[in-house]
Amino acid sequence: MDEIIHHLAVFVANLWQIHIFGEGNTRTTAVFFIKYLRTLGFDATNDIFAENAWYFRNALVRANYNDLKHEIHETTEYLELFLRNLLLDEKNLLQNRLMHVDYKEMLVREPKIEYKTSEANIENRKVNIQLEKVNIGMFGEKISGISKKTIQHMEQLCDSFDENEIFGRSRVEEVTGLKNTRASLFLKELLERNIIQKVTGHGKGKYTFFIKE
């Protein structure tokens, strides 16, 4: 069964990488994969995909990401954990932070938690956790110093759009609940930080994520 799990992980990672489904590639890949698994006799449902959407997407990224200069290689180990939970009903821990390319260094740098701390420090710790979630495999230090509210809106975008998906202000308003002016200011900040980039040939005011420098 280990070989089958590995084969399926490689298959879905390669399928996602070629971006065959255009807009909504990750979501459509998940739907296709569920149907494909059912043809193989597996009782696959959407539940685990819905509950671990961020993990599934980031596992696909890590299965295709290489940075040979820093000895980072593509790996399907995180996808395989996901698939073992899906197909074998295992209870492997699916944590996004484990996929962070600097995770080991983060453990070394991580300060000891003081149990007697102020309310303000607790709030800061919550913000840092959210930063890690958005930062995974995507934006690096570009989000340093961004407000907690902006981070929340970024999470909403990342949950709704694939990395190559094209979107405009109206879609941002729909996803985040921001009004016209606030949505424009939000997009302006993301542009200035090179988190998103303008896209031509698709009408005025269209953007996509700018993940790679």
Provide the residue range defining the domain that includes 28: 2-99
Angle at which helices 2-17 and 53-62 cross, to 10°: 90
Which of 35, 68, 99 terminates a domain? The answer is 99
Please report the pLDDT score of residue 40 as a whole number.
95
The reported pTM is 0.51
Please report the pLDDT score of residue 156 as a whole number.
78
Number of domain units in the chain: 2
Higher pLDDT, residue 24 or 7: 7
- Which of 64-68, 161-165, 177-181, 207-211 has the lowest average pLDDT? 161-165
Residue 85 — very low, low, confident or very high, per pLDDT cuts 50/70/90? very high
Which of 99, 129, 158 terminates a domain? The answer is 99
In this structure, is residue 105 part of a structural domain? no
187 pLDDT more than 60:
yes
Instruction: Output the average pLDDT for the chain.
Output: 79
In this structure, is residue 104 part of a structural domain? no
Same domain, 40 and 115: no
Backbone angles phi, psi at 72, to 5 degrees: -105, 125
Same domain, 115 and 195: yes
Residue 112 — very low, low, confident or very high, per pLDDT cuts 50/70/90? very low
- Residue 123 token pair: 């709030």
